[in-house]
Structure 1
Amino acid sequence: MENTFPAYVVRKEQDGEVKAAIEQLRKEDLPNGDVTLQVQYSSVNYKDGLATIEKGGVVREYPIVPGIDLAGTVEESVSGRFAPGDRVISTGYEPGVSHFGGYSRYARLRSEWLVPLPPGLSEKEAMAIGTAGFTAALSVDALVQAGVTPEMGKILVTGATGGVGSMAVAILAKLGYEVTASTGKKDKQEQLLRDLGASHIISREEADMPAKGALGKQLWAGVVDPVGGSALAERLKQIQYGGVVAVSGLTGGTAFESTVLPFILRGIQLRGIDSVYCPMERRERLWKLLGGEWKPDRALELGIQEITWDQLPQTLGAILQGEAVGRTVVNTMEASI
Structure 2
Amino acid sequence: MMAMPWRSVAATLLFLMMNAPLANAQGDDEDAKAGLKPGLSKYYRGRCTHQGQVSAPCFDFYVNVVEKKNFLSDEENKVSNCFDRLGSKSLGLAQEAATELFASDATSAYAQECYRLVTLLAGEEWKAKAEKARRAAKGWDPRFERSSAELEASITTETKGFHPEGAPVRGRLEAFEPLEFPVKAGHCYMAVLRLDPDAGFSDHARKGVTFTFDMGGTPTVGGPGIVGPGGSGSAGCPTKAGRGSLDLQANFGSAFSSKRIHDLGQGGFAVQFYAKELNAKERAERAKIERDAEEEARRMYESSQREAKKTCEQCKGKRYACEERRGRINEFACRQEYLVCIERKGVSEADCE
TM range (shorter): under 0.3
TM-score normalized by the length of structure 1: 0.22
Structure of larger gyration radius: 2
Which protein is richer in strand relative to its size? 1
TM-score normalized by the length of structure 2: 0.21
Which protein is richer in helix relative to its size? 2
Structure with the larger RCO, 1 or 2 (CA within 8 Å, 6+ apart): 1
